[in-house]
Chain A
Amino acid sequence: MPEGLVQVILDGSASGTIYAAVALALVLVYKSSGIVNFAQGEMGMFCTFITWWLNQQGLGLLTAIASGLSIAFVLGVLTERLFIRPVARFGEFPAVLTTLGLFLVFNELAPWLWGPENRAFPSLFGAGVLAIGKARVSTESVGTLVVMIAAVSVFFFVLHHTKIGLGMRAAAANAVSSSLSGVPAPQMFMLGWGLATTLATLAGVLIAPRLFLDASLMLGVIIYAFAAAALGGFTSLLGAVVGGLVIGLAETLASNYVDFIGSDLKILVPLTVLLVVLLVRPTGLFAKSAERAV
């Protein structure tokens, strides 16, 4: 094994967990509302700021995170009700465009409220470092991966093994028919947005200790997250996590071992993956055709 390969793999996986966390939220909102929400990351960033602020006010970290996640849920529900539903009846594109507007709103609101400086965000997992031979990885990265796999399990269970989950998927697949079959589609959309915003905030809380918290927390991540979600098929929660890890590893390995890419061009790696997936296998690696026939 080449010198340092273990460290490169650990670094790549650590970046991968960051992309996966945001990709997961993208997939969840797509699964439960049928649209791609460009404001997803920014809403998560905004609620991460709320969490940070609560923590600064003296609330314990866990309490602050719990409150932040609850506020995120309410924010997601309200956003769907107040901004998305009024335009959704005109079709998907107006709704997607509205999410672009929301992106700008939250991106400007956060620095206006809390200032433009980058902030240290305390980690749930302490500042420890694990040594594997000569290579080192922070407990934060390991903890992030564990929490995300747990989140995937929970959301997978809710979506695929509960009646509410079935209703959410049905509403997203076909709002009219599911309403006719007695599924309260509007409520399902609100619930979906609430859960997705919660998940985006969870992602924010997990990655902010590494990246430092500022209004651009999610800006750099979202491209990688889109690539990860596309690779995973945009409808598979597990696919989003695997996609994130693959992108993180591919990017880090390429920038270390492919000379002409280096650190200059490593942004090309997720974009290339995105392009290839869309050209070769638009359904992604993990999408099942069965899911389309809910």
Chain B
Amino acid sequence: MNWRISMILLGRIASIALALAFAHGPAAAQGSYKDPGITDTQIKLGGSYPFSGPGSAYGAVYDGVKAYFDLVNSRGGVKGRKIESIVLDDAYQPSKVVANVRQLVEQDKVFAIFNIGGTAHNLAVADYILRNKIPHLYLNTGAIVFAQDRKKFPYTLIGIPAYATESAAFAQYIKQEKPNAKVAVLYQNDPFGQDLLEPFEAAAKRQGVHIVAKEPYNATEPSVDSQVSKLARSGADVFVSFTIPKFAAQAIRKAAELNWKPMQLLTSVSASTELVLKPAGLAGSQGIISTAFLKDPSDPASASDPAVKEYVAALKQFVPNANPADPLRARGYALAQVMVKALEGMKAPSREALMQSALNMDTEIPMLLPGIRIQTSPTDALPMKALYMERFQGERWVVLGKPLSPSLK
């Protein structure tokens, strides 16, 4: 028999045996837990990632998550409970995320949902989460609505700095570096772009930063060349780019082609050396400003950092072949660290206690840059309020100065 088939059969037999064992397990032990997915020895967490389809680059986030959970399990788990992580593929489609979350909750009986990516995707499951009171933690999106509308999203916490925090930091940085700047903005004409543009305009107004031109583009357009050309003619000396990677690269290249040399600020969504800056041309990418909240495993300066060392070793041990330099993997690792902190802080083994723990936090996370704390309270659902500015120099990002904590009001 083919070894693969034997392994699959073996797996089936083992799972049937396990199911039988649980079916006949002691009823008393089950009784002390009112919520499913948690026992004396185990916590089940469910996730959904785009392992296929157009967004599958984001599937790499889970490599970092898995590496950290496996590391925690190899050290004995969270207070004796091993984390069992169940993940499904959603091909980056909101409708599949909904189906996956139902399956995770109803069939796999997970304790909590962790780390789903995409604004539309998380909005799609919000109703279900609310009705069933499932903790829905550390999403891979920075949509501010999850932090602001607590009536609709009481069980939800975002896992990265809000897009609004980033764009307010942009305005603050522009004021600080170029008080008389004339700013041109390119933005995607959809909720992602609006989520960056609106808080930027509000912050610019508060700070007295002058926006002289703004141009939208639709994600279905072939190119943003004519928008960039128009922005260049506005005479702006600062260019803010709220774009997804492909259009970010086009914009950088078009600006270089036009010999337009403004100070460029690029949303961290597109601040990828491999996907954006190298394709656009490193020469035209020098000096671009973005924001950072994670330690950068590809930076030689951070190689001796104990958190980065642990991350690289864990990834090598539990997800061999995964390149640790990918910032998405580092992000997954960091968010898994936040999740484990929340689990550790539970005062009782219930979903309610997990939410209490997640909403009463003030802690440092090893993979986050120093000074970026996770701070929440029952009235404050924005875990990361600070971030660093970074500048692209040579072939890498260099973190600048101290963290900024821009006000959102």
Among listed A6-14, A144-152, A160-168, A175-183, interface-contacting one: A6-14
A18 cross-chain contacts in B, Cβ below 8 A:
222-223
* Interface residue stretch chosen among A84-92, A97-105, A114-122, A229-237: A114-122
Q: Which residue of A lies closest to B186 (CB)?
A: A263
Cβ < 8 Å to B, chain A residues 114-135: 115-120, 127, 129
> In the complex, are the beta carbons of B257 and A263 less than 8 A apart?
no
Does A143 lie at the interface of the complex (its beta carbon under 8 Å from any beta carbon of B)?
no
**Complex contacts, B245 vs chain A, CB 8 Å:** 117-118
- Cross-chain contact of A117 among B221, B222, B223, B275 (Cβ < 8 A): B275
Cβ of A219: which chain B residues have Cβ within 8 Å of it?
Answer: 220
* A35: min CB distance to chain B, Å: 25
CB within 8 Å of A: which of B230-261? 230, 233, 245-246, 249-250, 257-259
Please tell me if the beta carbons of A8 and B229 are within 8 angstroms of each other in the complex: yes
Contacts of B94 in A (CB 8 A): none
Q: Which of A12, A129, A136, A207 contacts B226 (CB 8 A)?
A: A12
Decide yes or no whether A256 CB sits under 8 A from chain B: yes
Contact residues, B22-71 vs A (CB, 8 A): 52-57
Contact, CB under 8 Å: B230 / A263: yes
Q: Is A79 interfacial (CB-CB < 8 Å)?
A: no
Contacts of B259 in A (CB 8 A): 129, 136
Give the CA-CA distance A212 to B247 in the complex, in Å: 9
| Beta-carbon contacts under 8 Å, B184-233 to A | 189, 215-218, 220-223, 225-227, 229-230, 233
Decide: B57 and A115 in contact? CB cutoff 8 A: yes
Minimum CB–CB distance from B179 to chain A (whole Å) comes to 27
B11 at the interface (CB under 8 A from A): no
Say yes or no for B76: interface residue by CB 8 A criterion.
no
Partner of A263, one of B54, B216, B233, B281: B216
Q: Does A96 contact B (CB under 8 A)?
A: no
Number of interface residues of A (CB under 8 A): 41
Q: B279: CB under 8 A from chain A?
A: yes
Closest to A224 in B: B222
Whole-angstrom distance between the Cβ of A187 and the nearest chain B Cβ: 35
A212-B250, A267-B218 given; A111·B56 CB < 8 A: yes
Bound-state CA distance A251–B217 (Å) is: 13
Check B347 for interface membership: any CB of A closer than 8 A.
Answer: no
**Minimal Cβ-Cβ distance residue in B for A136:** B258
Q: Which residues of A contact B258 (CB under 8 A)?
A: 7, 136
Among A8, A11, A116, A120, the residue within 8 A (CB) of B279 is A120
A23 to B73, CA, bound (A): 58
A211 contacts the other chain (CB 8 A)? yes
- The distance from the CB of A274 to the nearest CB of chain B, in whole angstroms, is 16
- Say yes or no for B278: interface residue by CB 8 A criterion: yes
Q: Complex formed: what's the CA distance from A215 to B92 in Å? A: 15
Task: List chain A residues, Cβ under 8 A from B53.
Answer: 111, 116
Q: In the complex, how many angstroms separate the beta carbon of A127 from the nearest chain B beta carbon?
A: 7
Query: Are A211 and B250 in contact (CB-based, < 8 A)?
Result: yes
**A264 to B230, alpha carbons, bound, how many Å?**
13
Are A220 and B55 neighbours in the complex by a CB distance under 8 Å?
no
Q: How far apart sit A183 and B388, CA to CA, in the bound complex (Å)?
A: 71
CA–CA, A125 and B57, complex, Å: 31
Take A111-B54, A112-B52, A120-B279 as given contacts and tell me if A267 and B221 are in contact as well, using a CB distance cutoff of 8 Å: yes
Q: B275 and A118: CB pair below 8 A? A: yes
- Binary contact track A205-234/B, C-beta < 8 Å → 1, others 0: 001001110111001110010000000000
Instruction: State whether A15 touches B57 (Cβ < 8 A).
Output: no
- Chain A, Cβ-Cβ closest to B232: A7
Alpha-carbon separation in the docked complex, A138 to B228 (Å):
14
Bound complex: CA of A11 vs CA of B215, how far in Å? 16
Contacts of A210 in B (CB 8 A): 223, 225, 250
Report the separation of the CA atoms of residues A3 and B222 in the bound assembly, to the nearest whole angstrom.
26
A-B contacts, 9 of them at CB < 8 A, read A7-B233, A11-B226, A15-B222, A117-B57, A117-B274, A118-B275, A136-B257, A252-B226, A256-B230
Residues of A whose CB lies within 8 Å of any CB of B are: 3-4, 7-8, 11-12, 14-15, 18, 111-112, 115-120, 127, 129, 136, 138, 207, 210-212, 214-216, 219-221, 224, 251-252, 255-256, 262-264, 266-267
